Structure 1
Amino acid sequence: MVQKFKQHIASSLCFLQGKKLLLACSGGLDSVVLAHLCDASDLDFALAHCNFSLRGSESDDDEHFVRELASTFEVGIFIKQFDTEQYAKEQRLSVQMAARELRYKWFEELLQAIEYDYVLTAHHADDSLETFLINLSRGTGIEGLSGIPEVNGNIVRPLLPFSRNEIMEYAKSESIQWREDSSNASTKYLRNKIRHNVVPILKGLSPSFLQNFLNTQHHLGQTNDLANNHLNELKSRLFQQRNDDIEIKISELQKLQPLDAYLYGLLNGYGFIEWNDVKDLLTAESGKQVFSNTHRLLKDRDYLILAEIAPEIKGTYYIHLNKASGELPIKIQLEEVESFEKQGQNVVFLDKEKLNFPLVLRNWEKGDYFYPFGMQGKKKLSKFFKDEKMDLISKEKQWLLCSGNDIVWIVGRRADERFKVEESTRKIVKITWLT
């Protein structure tokens, strides 16, 4: 197995050679064998062990075992203890998902803190089969059936071509010791049910079942890559960046068939799960929205607006002339100048003596009105926004600069006529929105 492992590294994962590697080691069979193989292949690695504090003294014994293993290989070791159950409760996650999240967050922190290059995990071919069956049982697309990726960013899984039987036989032939996790025998968890009750039956269908499965999964992965290449090309054409948001023309989406599959392929990376609601947006009235945990999709006339859900910034802020104004939600610069220049979208010039300081920066409110620069009479902001064809997201992000209760500037859009510079103006204030 050592020779096969070395060949796999040389042919498929040669970028690992000469790099500093963190090997995620639980003390179980798979990760201990991986450590032995890495040592035999002269890879530069240290062990990283998570103590999830879920099995009392067993968890502590696992930690002690991994410490001894690091000493045997004369490599570095990093250990982190977690209160997994408390984290799961706080984040409303299953214990398994909480442990996974804690684990990978810590690995990422370690890579940055100690300047290692990659994390190695001991997932193997049987893990890929189990994951396939789990995703199949829950309902998934082709991506969920394509298997565990061998390389995912800085996470590398060099044992994926190897079966659990190969790993076990190697450990026995080399008299390798490892720790047994008593929870692996329990069928309380879905993965264990599949491992103990389903996989043996499938493997009994054919001696080459696992290898045939890996071949099929490889083909599925290639098909998924083709689909993703096509979807990325579509995104580059259909997804138009507009400030912080993405604008998608509905008529172009409606040309795509099968529509359901295209909507899923284009938007599933943004966390949406209510696909009927997403589809209904195409024919809904303007202002309708669908939310995921991270994004929102807004119907705005002939477009869908895709926007990340950012923390809501509300409040009132005061801005003094020639004086630091503290933390502001947007960057506004005020300065007194000698001469008047042409105003632009991000710059206005105002008559200082018409202003009451400090100026007020706030969100717009229902009933707000102003006197548009260059026009006679007042106008409600709601009517101004409609005339400007502003969507709901843009209106929510809009800031107003005010003098007392009077709007001075709809920031980045229109100044107020009442505060303009005239021939009689003696002092001029230049206000710049630094985007």
Structure 2
Amino acid sequence: MDLITQFKNYIKQHDLFTQKDKLLLALSGGLDSVVLCELCHRCDFDVEVLHMNFQLREAESERDAAFVEKLAQQYTWPFHLKKTQAAAESERLRKGIQETARLLRYDWFEACRVDIATASGKRTWVLTAHHLDDNIETSVMHFFRGTGIAGLRGMLPVQGNVVRPLLFASRQQLQQFAKEQQLTWVEDSSNLLETYARNYVRHSLLTTAERIYPDLQNRLAGNLARFAETEALYKQAIAWHRKQLVEQKGNEMHLPVLKLKKTIPLQSVLYELLQPYGFQATQLPDVMSLLDAETGRFVASATHRILRNRAWLVVSPTDTIDAVTILIDGPGLYTFPGGELQLTEREYRKEEGLETDATTAILDARKISFPLLLRKWKTADYFYPLGMRKKKKIARFLIDQKKSKIDKEKIWVLEAQHRICWVVGHRIDDRFRVLPATSKVLGLKWKPA
């Protein structure tokens, strides 16, 4: 079967796009993108061309841009060029060149897609020329980095608004087609540098493996297909576990410790639940240790924190303005949905007195051990109001304070080692009051939102 027929069949099999759609070809000028151009031309699709010049290879980058523009002109397709300083952006974002280039590229592709779709009124897709060899390399790289099942199955034909209609074809097939059609393309010299992980996998790792397994490509292509089907079953199982385990409270995910301990397979379920919050597979042992840890222990990613809070693991944003449970790990200023809380630790002298207003509390620092928890009050909560020797449920305390239902919803409490030390803005707990023997105090100042 010739490549054009395979191309048409693949598009139909995966319902990628139709003759009525607008296709934006993301072209580098290399072999695979030139073949994609010719195939789309032969199929008479409505095409526009996108090319991003990262200005990383000086004259060669300019050569590539000029080549792609000329190619678009040959097919009489509109051409869109974006120049950017990828190296400078890499420093600014503190990311590697390859990752930065990918982010810049796809952000621009999507911006173009939205603009062109709006102007044309057509369903619009971004097409990349990734092929079977690329997909195998991606799967192998994910395997060595550490990944879930989604990483092993590689790239999909459609992800969001990006379509990859050449995933069925090997590089050898593309080369044969280009030779038959007398197509010309440009070579990216950086593709030969093994300092890039993908190039090492391509030129060294897979080439060496092929000496042992001559049919390696067919074997790995079969793996990709099986992993894709395995992922479908895997997702069904994860969805079931998610339904059993997750309690979503605002921006927080609450996981019951007892149920987690009985979950099989625990590591895979935890990985899938936590991966969207920036946690890595290498952090799983630390996360699992929280199941037997005391309240206040936590594990953090770049954006979130998993906190052991009594019978729960609470996953919340590290940006406390979005969290419902705030970890207070020492003196300082903490911003939360209820406002700002300033904690200061200082020496205490009896002569200074303890005059406070509703937004201020002074506690005996000897009775406080960090971390503290700042959270919304719960129905079962109780404390010992200042001056009282008997405990009182916070629900009854708020009724006595004649708080409306709306007012009650705004109440926060500060908890120290499972004991509430302050109903924020109302009353401290008598167990934490300043005594004649107190030498150091923890000052709390609340600024309401």
- TM-score (norm. length: structure 1): 0.73
Quick check: 2:305–2:317 contact (8 Å CA) kept in 1? yes
The residue that corresponds to 1:403 in the other structure is none
Which of 182, 196, 199 is the aligned partner of 2:206? 199
Which of 262, 271, 275 is the aligned partner of 1:264? 271
Counterparts of 2:375 and 2:104, CA distance in 1:
34
Counterparts of 1:196 and 1:203, CA distance in 2:
11
Give the number of aligned pairs: 355
The residue that corresponds to 1:242 in the other structure is 249
Cα offset for 1:136? 2.7
1:363 is aligned to 2:363:
no
Cα offset for 1:124? 0.7
Quick check: 1:296–1:306 contact (8 Å CA) kept in 2? yes
SS of the residue aligned with 2:20?
Answer: coil
Give deviations 1:260-298, integer Å, cap 9, x for gaps.
232223222221122221111111111222111122111
Q: How does 1:38-117 map to 2 (within 5 A)?
A: 38-115=40-117, 117=124
Segments of 5+ residues of structure 2 without an aligned counterpart are 118-122, 323-334, 346-354, 378-402, 412-422, 428-447
The residue that corresponds to 2:398 in the other structure is none
Cα offset for 1:35? 1.2
Counterparts of 2:49 and 2:245, CA distance in 1:
45
The residue that corresponds to 1:296 in the other structure is 305
The residue that corresponds to 1:186 in the other structure is 193
Quick check: 1:287–1:392 contact (8 Å CA) kept in 2? no
Which of 285, 290, 293 is the aligned partner of 1:284? 293
The residue that corresponds to 2:239 in the other structure is 232
1:32 is aligned to 2:23:
no
Give deviations 1:70-112, integer Å, cap 9, x for gaps.
1111111211111011111112222111111111111122222
Amino acid aligned to 1:190: A
Counterparts of 1:275 and 1:417, CA distance in 2:
40
Segments of 5+ residues of structure 1 without an aligned counterpart are 314-327, 332-360, 373-377, 396-407, 419-432
Counterparts of 2:86 and 2:211, CA distance in 1:
37
The residue that corresponds to 1:275 in the other structure is 284
Q: Identify which range, 195-204 or 99-108, moves more after superposition.
A: 195-204
Give deviations 1:227-248, integer Å, cap 9, x for gaps.
1211112112211111221211
The residue that corresponds to 1:138 in the other structure is 145
The residue that corresponds to 2:181 in the other structure is 174
The residue that corresponds to 1:427 in the other structure is none
SS of the residue aligned with 2:47?
Answer: strand
Cα offset for 1:198? 2.8
Pair 14,371 (structure 1): closer, same or farther in 2 beyond 3 Å: closer
Cα offset for 1:186? 2.3
Which of 3, 26, 29 is the aligned partner of 2:5? 3
Q: Identify which range, 215-224 or 154-163, moves more after superposition.
A: 215-224
The residue that corresponds to 2:20 in the other structure is 18
Which of 221, 239, 243 is the aligned partner of 2:228? 221
SS of the residue aligned with 2:254?
Answer: strand
Pair 250,17 (structure 1): closer, same or farther in 2 beyond 3 Å: farther
Counterparts of 1:284 and 1:113, CA distance in 2:
52
Counterparts of 2:291 and 2:65, CA distance in 1:
54
SS of the residue aligned with 1:282?
Answer: helix
Give deviations 1:29-71, integer Å, cap 9, x for gaps.
1111111111111222211101010111110111111111111
Counterparts of 2:375 and 2:108, CA distance in 1:
35
Amino acid aligned to 1:363: L
Pair 99,416 (structure 1): closer, same or farther in 2 beyond 3 Å: closer
Cα RMSD of the aligned pairs, angstroms, is 3.3
Amino acid aligned to 2:12: A
Quick check: 1:369–1:381 contact (8 Å CA) kept in 2? no
Cα offset for 1:223? 1.3
Give deviations 1:394-414, integer Å, cap 9, x for gaps.
59xxxxxxxxxxxx9787128
Cα offset for 1:224? 2.1
The residue that corresponds to 1:324 in the other structure is none
SS of the residue aligned with 1:63?
Answer: helix
Counterparts of 1:81 and 1:218, CA distance in 2:
37
Give deviations 1:354-394, integer Å, cap 9, x for gaps.
xxxxxxx643656997779xxxxx98799xxx9xxx94465
Give deviations 1:205-231, integer Å, cap 9, x for gaps.
556432232112211221122112111
Quick check: 1:370–1:381 contact (8 Å CA) kept in 2? no
Counterparts of 1:42 and 1:294, CA distance in 2:
46
Pair 170,50 (structure 1): closer, same or farther in 2 beyond 3 Å: same
Which of 211, 217, 223 is the aligned partner of 2:218? 211
Counterparts of 1:165 and 1:135, CA distance in 2:
23
SS of the residue aligned with 1:13?
Answer: coil
Cα offset for 1:17? 3.8
Quick check: 2:25–2:127 contact (8 Å CA) kept in 1? yes
SS of the residue aligned with 2:292?
Answer: coil
Pair 252,381 (structure 1): closer, same or farther in 2 beyond 3 Å: farther
Counterparts of 1:183 and 1:416, CA distance in 2:
62
Amino acid aligned to 1:202: A
Quick check: 1:245–1:305 contact (8 Å CA) kept in 2? yes
Counterparts of 1:93 and 1:283, CA distance in 2:
36
Q: Identify which range, 278-287 or 199-208, moves more after superposition.
A: 199-208
The residue that corresponds to 1:429 in the other structure is none
